[in-house]
Structure 1
Amino acid sequence: MARLVFTPQSTVAATVTATKRWVPTLGIWGASAGAGALLLLSVTPLVRRELLEKVPVLGSYYQDKTPASDKPF
């Protein structure tokens, strides 16, 4: 019968193992949260003007082409 011998793992090795395990998951959740925040805040003029209009391909979609005479404020 084989004997199992457990050796203690160093703190650095345990941290590296945990980091390798959690980084992809946290990256996916972070990207999803960022996309959701941009979706919800895309109607805010500050976010639209300062962030979304400066995206190279999609910037023209978010530009406000409403004449000044038709704006209420």
Structure 2
Amino acid sequence: MARVVFKTQAPVNAALAGSRRWLTTLGIWGFSAGAGALLLLSVTPLVRREVLVKVPMLGNYYEDKTPESDKPF
């Protein structure tokens, strides 16, 4: 008959083992929330100018090409 052997576990390892299963789910939800926020705020001039123009592949799409004479402010 097999014996049951209990091993002590360090508190840090116990916390990591408990939180490891949630890490992937929280990462997916966090990425989705960030992408949704950028999508909803992409019409805001501050977000467009400070964040979206600086993205390497998408910068040209969000760049403002309106002439200065056509801008109201």
How high is the TM-score relative to the length of structure 2? Answer: 0.80
**How far, CA to CA, are the matches of 1:9 and 1:35 in structure 2?**
42
Unaligned runs of 5+ in 1: none
Give the counterpart letter for 1:44 in structure 2. Answer: T
* Alpha-carbon distance change, 40 to 9 in structure 1, aligned in 2, over 3 angstroms: farther
Alignment match, 2:16: 16
Alignment match, 1:31: 31
Give the counterpart letter for 1:29 in structure 2. Answer: W
1:1-73 aligned at under 5 Å gives the runs 10=9, 11-73=11-73
The count of residues paired between Structure 1 and Structure 2 equals: 72
**How far, CA to CA, are the matches of 2:62 and 2:8 in structure 1?**
53
**How far, CA to CA, are the matches of 2:68 and 2:8 in structure 1?**
67
Quote the offset at 1:9 in angstroms. 6.8
Quote the offset at 1:8 in angstroms. 8.5
Cα RMSD of the aligned pairs, angstroms, is 2.2
Please give the per-residue CA displacement for 1:19-68, whole angstroms capped at 9, x wherever unaligned. 11110000000000000010011111111111100111110000000111
Identity of aligned residues (%): 68
